[in-house]
């Protein structure tokens, strides 16, 4: 949000987190928030839909919550936007590379068919399909972005890099699923903010566009763990290989779509990865302490 505010854009945040402060409106249930939501939408030029349950492990143990929040929540948001088409210029639907899970080769591009490997990724694919339906049926001005794995400060503790940092700083075993040879691409949260800021402030990207927020080349999970440990000056012996999670996707690979390049969307510079990761690790070191 600071990226948008730096461009003199007023930001109103809807959040279900009761600890949220500042200019955020607390949203426990979209339905019960209907009146205030419509009054807010009357003043908005754009909606950025970032709200999703996102941790695959929790989608295995609690799949219903992911459908309730990610699918039904998106449906309610799109419904709320319908009466405001005269003022709403853009709705950004934030999706994931996981809608094309477990690629054996090649990269996920706009032509690739959905292939989901978890309830989380299935719920994100459902969001994309709802977006397609609401573009065609109701002319909602939706642009979809897909993103690779994000890292950075203030990420939820359950995510991989924060977990490695937290466990390492406590000298506890660091759980790594299976062999740790799963492949992921990574992008800094700062770049994601820059990308979303660019899309939001660009008035030439048409509804229905599919934009990919790409990052590094593919990196094995075990290498990320070793790199973080090296930055923290902690021993590799802290790594503990645990039983692989159910249906674990072995590989994601997101390629830039033609539209992403045609509209001049910013590209993540892989040469900045280690510096960005080091800054991230430093932030968690200060949070968790040595």
Question: Which sign, positive or negative, has the C-alpha torsion 4, 9, 15, 21?
Answer: positive
Question: Which sign, positive or negative, has the C-alpha torsion 169, 173, 179, 182?
Answer: negative
* Annotated active-site residue in 120, 134, 268, 284: 120
104 is catalytic: no
Continuous segment of H or E residues that includes residue 275? helix 273-288
Distance of CA 119 to the CA centre of its chain: 15
Continuous segment of H or E residues that includes residue 195? helix 189-201
23 is catalytic: no
Q: Which residues pair with 145 in a beta bridge?
A: 94, 211
Tokens (6 digits) for 123: 């719920």
Q: Which residues pair with 92 in a beta bridge?
A: 48, 143
* Annotated active-site residue in 53, 98, 107, 276: 98
Please, what is the end-to-end C-alpha distance for the chain in angstroms?
Answer: 30
* Annotated active-site residue in 97, 128, 249, 276: 97
> What is the three-class DSSP state of 149?
strand
285 is catalytic: no
The DSSP secondary structure of 66-95, one letter per residue, reads HIIIIIIHHHHHHHHHGGGTTT--EEEEEE
Q: Which residues are catalytic?
A: 97-98, 120
């Amino acid at each position: 949000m600071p990226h948008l505010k730096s461009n003199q854009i007023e930001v109103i945040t809807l959040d279900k987190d009761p600890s949220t402060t500042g200019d955020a409106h607390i949203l426990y249930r979209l339905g019960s928030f209907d009146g205030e939501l419509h009054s807010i939408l009357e003043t908005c030029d754009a909606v950025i839909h970032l709200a999703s349950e996102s941790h695959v492990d929790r989608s295995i143990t609690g799949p219903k919550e992911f459908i309730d929040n990610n699918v039904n929540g998106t449906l309610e948001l799109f419904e709320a936007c319908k009466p405001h088409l005269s003022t709403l210029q853009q709705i950004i639907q934030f999706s994931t590379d996981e809608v094309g899970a477990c690629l054996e080769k090649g990269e996920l591009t706009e032509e690739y068919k959905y292939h989901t490997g978890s309830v989380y990724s299935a719920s994100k694919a459902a969001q994309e399909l709802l977006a397609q339906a609401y573009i065609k049926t109701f002319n909602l001005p939706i642009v979809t972005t897909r993103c690779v794995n994000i890292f950075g400060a203030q990420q939820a503790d359950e995510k991989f890099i924060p977990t490695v940092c937290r466990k390492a700083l406590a000298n506890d075993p660091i759980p790594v699923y299976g062999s740790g040879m799963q492949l992921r691409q990574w992008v800094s949260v700062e770049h994601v903010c820059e990308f979303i800021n660019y899309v939001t402030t660009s008035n030439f990207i048409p509804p229905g566009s599919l934009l990919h927020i790409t990052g590094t080349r593919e990196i094995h999970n075990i290498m990320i763990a070793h790199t973080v440990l090296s930055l923290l000056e902690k021993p590799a012996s802290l790594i503990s290989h645990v039983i692989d999670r159910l249906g674990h996707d072995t590989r994601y690979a997101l390629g830039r779509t033609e539209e992403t390049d045609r509209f001049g969307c910013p590209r993540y510079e892989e040469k900045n990865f280690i510096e960005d990761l080091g800054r991230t690790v430093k932030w968690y070191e200060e949070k968790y302490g040595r």
